Amino acid sequence: MKTTKIIFWTTTTLIFLFEGVMPALFSQSEAGKEGIRHLDYPQYFGITLAIMKVAGALCLILPMVPARVKEWAYACFGIEFIFASVSHAVKDGFGGQAIFPLIVLAVLIISYLSYHKLNAEMRQTSLA
């Protein structure tokens, strides 16, 4: 169970940093606004996206959040990473900007799988 906890907290913390802290700090910077403009999204989309990213990241990192809400956060982040990859690939071609969201998606999947494994291990421990 210790290894599963380490994997879960490491991957979930990475997601929290990428999807919670960075958008909160940089979404309204000139670089952040330019990134949204470059992809031809309206400005309000960047603001909404940043708010939803922070809310989702908090859902994943806070232990008191119900499991069903965490499931939705995982699903929404998965959709976001896929669409980020598609947006960058369509606008700039399939390169580093399009691959990076897929790498973060892989980290998210590891977090998701370890979350479920950890919950199953805790249920088994409480039954014993």
User: pLDDT tens, 1-33?
Assistant: 799 999 999 999 999 999 999 988 888 889 889
**The pTM of the whole model exceeds 0.75:** yes
The ranges assigned to domains in the chain are 2-127
| DSSP-assigned states of every residue in 51-80 | HHHHHHHHHHH-TTS-HHHHHHHHHHHHHH
CB 4, CB 118: distance < 8 Å = yes
% residues pLDDT > 90 (the chain): 73
